[in-house]
A and B are shown apart, each in its own frame.
Chain A
C-alpha cells in the first residue's frame, strides 16, 4: 500500500483522457481548421457510427467475445435497404428489411457462438467475409443511390444544431452506460468474461447474455450502415471497410481487456473519440491517407501493450499486499473466536 497504487489506478482510469487532450492540443496547434466548429461536428459525426457499434462491441469483449463482422453487417444492411428502395418497397419497409438483415445475421452469429460453442473469432471472421460477399452478389458491385430528402435527414439532419447521428449515439450511450454500470447485466458480463465457470456455477446466464449481445451488435451495425448510406445518399459495397478495426481499436484503447472481465464504457467513449480525432487530424495536417491506416494499426498495437501492462501491474500489486492482509484477517478471526 503505497502511493503507487492510487497513482496506477488514476492513470488506468484517466491516462487515455489525457492522451486525448494532448492529441487535440497537438492538432489544434498544427492545423488551423481542426478545432473549428464545422470540423468538430464532422469528427463527432464520424465518431458516432463507430461509437454506436462499439457499445455492444465493448460489452462482447467484456464478456470474453468479439465481433469482427460489424463492418460487413453494416454494408449488408445498407445494400439490402438500397435494393428494397430500388424495388419500390417504400422507405419504412426498406429500413425494416435493412435492420432485419444485420440483426438476423447477428442472431446467427450469437446462436453459433453462445449456444453451439463455435469460436467467436472464426464465426465473425466468416461473417466479415460472407456478409460482404453477399452484398457484392446482391448488387453486382453497383452502388444504388437517391433515397430522397426524408432519409437524408438520418445522416445529415440536425436537431437543436446537433447532428442526428450524434443524437442517436448519445441516446445509445446513455442506455449502454445504464446497462453497464447500473444493472446486474454489467457485472454478469464481467463475470462471464473473467471467470466463465464461476459465473455458470452461480447460475448466471452464460449463453443468453452473449447471444443477445451479438443480436445487439448486428442491430447497431445495421443502424450504422443506414446512417452512412444516408450521409452518402448511396448504398455502396465499399461502405464499412475496415470498420471492425476502428471499432475494436477504440474498445481496446478504452481499456477493455481483450481477455474479458475488465473495462469501462466511458473509456470506450474516449477511445473511439481518440481514433476519430486521430484520423481527422492527420487529414487536416495533410498526412498521406496511407499513413492514417498505419496510425490506426499502431494505436491498436499500443492498446494491446497497455492491456499487458495493466495486467502485470495488477499482479505486482497482488503479491506486494498479500502478507500483511492475510495476517490481519487471521488476527481478526482469532479475536472474534476469543470474544465468542
Chain B
C-alpha cells in the first residue's frame, strides 16, 4: 500500500457543490498521497464540512470528479465510500453507545460464517470479529478494556480510540478526521494526535479538519486552506506559522500572493512534488 503509487490515493477535480443558493464549494481540486497527513482548515462556512461529506459519500458533488487511486468513483451512500477505503471519523464519532467495542468496529459490515448454512442464515462469525479486533488493537499499541465492553462505559478518549481504530482495522486507505479533538481534554487530544502519526506510519492518507492551528502545524505534512468555497492555499507545512494560516483563512493575506508564494494550488506535476516532499 505504501509502494510509490502511480496515482494519488485521493484526487478531487474541480468539485462544486451548492445547497440551494449557497455555493458551498466552487471548483476545488486537490490531491492526497498515501501516508500523507493533510490539514484542511478554513473559517466557518469555508466549505470544510461540505468537502468532507462529498468524500465520505454522504452527498454527491454537483460538478467535478472524485478519484480514488486514479479510478473515478460515484458514492451512493456512506457504505460505498467505506467500501472504496474511505473511513470518516465524525465529530460525533458515529458510535452506538449501547453496543460493545467489537460490535461498533464491525457495525455495517459484520463478518459472516463462511460455511453454506452460515451464509444463507446470515450467521455472524462473532469469534473471528473478536479475535480480529483484539489483535488489531494490539498491533496499534492500544490498550482498551475488554473488547466486549459497551461503548457507553468508555471515556471520551477511549471512544475516540475505538472510532479511529475502526478506520485502521478496515485497512482504509483514506481517513477523514472531522474535528476529532474538538471535545477532548489535553490527554485525550494527545492520544488522537499520536494516532494520526500511527495512521501515517501504516501508509494511510489522513485528512485532518481542525480549528486548532497549533495541532494542525504539529501533525500535518501539508496544509490546504479553504475560504468561501474556494481553495486559497495548498502547500507544505514547512515555514508556515499560525498567524499566517489565520491570515489565509480570514482573507487578511491576499489570496494570489499567498498561492503564488507557496507552490501551486492547481493539480499538476508540481503539486505531486509537494505531496512527495514529505
Q: Which residues of A contact B107 (CB under 8 A)?
A: 187-188, 191, 199, 202, 204
Q: Which residues of A contact B96 (CB under 8 A)?
A: 187, 190-191, 194-195, 198-199, 261
As a 0/1 sequence over residues 104 to 140 of chain B, the CB contacts with chain A under 8 angstroms (1 = contact) are 0001101010000000011110000000000000001
Pair A329/B153 contact, Cβ less than 8 Å: no
With contacts A184-B112, A314-B152 known, what are 4 further pairs, Cβ within 8 A? A188-B107, A194-B97, A314-B153, A330-B157
Query: Residues on A close to B: CB < 8 A?
Result: 178, 182-185, 187-188, 190-191, 193-195, 197-204, 257, 261-262, 314, 317-318, 321-322, 325-333, 335-337, 339-340
- The 8 A-B pairs at the shortest CB distance, nearest first, are namely A203-B79, A336-B141, A332-B143, A261-B98, A191-B96, A194-B98, A198-B94, A184-B110
Q: Which residues of A contact B155 (CB under 8 A)?
A: 321-322, 325-326, 329
A175 CB to nearest chain B CB (Å) = 10
Q: Which residues of B contact A261 (CB under 8 A)?
A: 96-98
Residue of B nearest to A339 (CB): B141
Q: Complex Cα distance A328/B80, Å?
A: 36
Q: Which of B186-194, B233-241, B250-258 contacts A (4 or more CB under 8 A)?
A: B186-194
Q: Which residues of A contact B80 (CB under 8 A)?
A: 203
Cβ contacts A to B, 19 pairs, < 8 Å = A183-B122, A184-B122, A188-B108, A195-B96, A201-B58, A201-B90, A202-B78, A202-B108, A261-B97, A325-B158, A326-B156, A327-B187, A328-B143, A329-B155, A329-B161, A330-B157, A333-B195, A337-B141, A339-B141
B127 CB to nearest chain A CB (Å) = 12
Query: Residues on B close to A: CB < 8 A?
Result: 56-58, 77-80, 82, 88, 90, 92-99, 103, 107-108, 110, 112, 121-124, 140-145, 152-158, 161, 187-188, 190-191, 194-195, 198, 201
Pair B143/A329 contact, Cβ less than 8 Å: yes
Pair B143/A182 contact, Cβ less than 8 Å: no
From DSSP, what is the main secondary structure of chain B's interface residues?
loop
Q: Complex Cα distance A336/B143, Å?
A: 10
Q: Complex Cα distance A208/B25, Å?
A: 32
B268 CB to nearest chain A CB (Å) = 34
Name which of A203, A326, A328, A337 has the most chain B CB atoms within 10 A of its CB. Answer: A203
A267 CB to nearest chain B CB (Å) = 14
Pair B191/A333 contact, Cβ less than 8 Å: yes
Q: Complex Cα distance A199/B190, Å?
A: 28
Pair B187/A326 contact, Cβ less than 8 Å: yes
Q: Complex Cα distance A329/B154, Å?
A: 11
Q: Complex Cα distance A204/B158, Å?
A: 23
B176 CB to nearest chain A CB (Å) = 11
A183 touching B121 in the complex, CB below 8 Å, given contacts A195-B95, A337-B194: yes
